Amino acid sequence: MQRLSRNLAVIAVVSLVGLSPVRAEQQDARAQQMVRKAVETELAASKVDHSNWQYKDLDRKPEGAATYWVVETKQGSVKKKIEKDGRPLTAEELSREDARIQSFIKDSALLAKQRKDGEQDDRRAESMLRMLPDAFLWTVKSDAGDAVTLAFVPDPKFDPPTMESRVFAAMAGEIVVHRTQNRIKTIKGTLVDNVKFGFGLFGKMDKGGTFDVERREIAPGLWQITESHVHIRGRALLFKSIGEDEDEVKSGFRQTAPATTLEEAANILKGEPASLSALR
């Protein structure tokens, strides 16, 4: 499936139990139909979009920030770190990155793991999308120009089919839909209550956790995630942190030639960092 978001998959992996009810809302049939149409459009688009891209990826986590140059191919994606905490890598560090990439593209086990992880993320994201219209009570928050903002709260009648999908029972937020294209531009939500694992014996997720995914049309009819912000925290047994705490910004998209192989991607990434000026 097209990458609507590994972020939807990230949210899905949090299995939630023991939630308190949220305030009741009425379903707005018009708003729900808009969401349903947007989901149908995204699923249809994902089946025909086989495009691959090069882009700059800034990834911020609690342990620090790193910037990568990413090249996607039909065989998988390859990325090269070019900055760490805002500092450009030295020539020696870049050389080590090139050596790591050569090792990666020749490692069948690592390549198989990348493909498997990507397929799992795609399945989770598709499953989440399909449930989106029916998991929530929808209302129209604003309707102006080509942007329609639709707000959602959990539908108490919704019965999550899997442990992963129980995240729907804990989130409230909004999505913005491009009216003429019926494409999802943004989706954001907030954990509306503390979430307990095994009645709290095995840990809990903290109320107030958030996620925010931004998408843009980077070529006619082709949409990509350009920003994602996931901040969901809690504690598990032995006081280990759980959840996600990450901000990611992608920029400078340009399409990769369909014939590009992993080896060709590695050669592209061997270029001077100055080549990134075209990706700004």
Task: Dump pLDDT digits (tens) for 68-124.
Answer: 999 999 999 999 999 999 999 999 999 999 999 999 999 999 999 999 988 988 888
pLDDT at 17 over 60: no
Strand partners, 203: 197, 236
pLDDT higher for 255 or 7? Answer: 255
pLDDT higher for 210 or 17? Answer: 210
Residue with tokens 């990458």: 3
The whole-number pLDDT of residue 69 equals 96
**CB-based contact 234:195 (threshold 8 Å):** yes
DSSP string, 215-268: EEEEETTEEEEEEEEEEEEEEEGGG-EEEEEEEEEEEEEEEPPTT--HHHHHHH
DSSP letter at 18 equals -
CA atoms within 13 A on the CB side of 143: 8
What are the Cα distances from residue 59, in Å, to 68, 85, 98, 247, 254?
Answer: 8, 10, 19, 6, 19
Residue type, 277: S
Collect all residues with Cβ–Cβ distance below 8 Å to 80 and sequence separation of at least 6: 68, 69, 94, 97, 98, 101, 269
Task: Dump pLDDT digits (tens) for 155-195.
Answer: 888 887 765 566 556 689 999 999 999 999 999 988 776 66
Reported as a pLDDT band with limits 50, 70 and 90, residue 28 is very high
Collect all residues with Cβ–Cβ distance below 8 Å to 159 and sequence separation of at least 6: none
What are the Cα distances from residue 15, in Å, to 12, 109, 117, 167, 197?
Answer: 7, 29, 18, 7, 8
The whole-number pLDDT of residue 194 equals 64
Reported as a pLDDT band with limits 50, 70 and 90, residue 34 is very high
Q: Phi, psi (5° rounding) for residue 230?
A: -125, 120
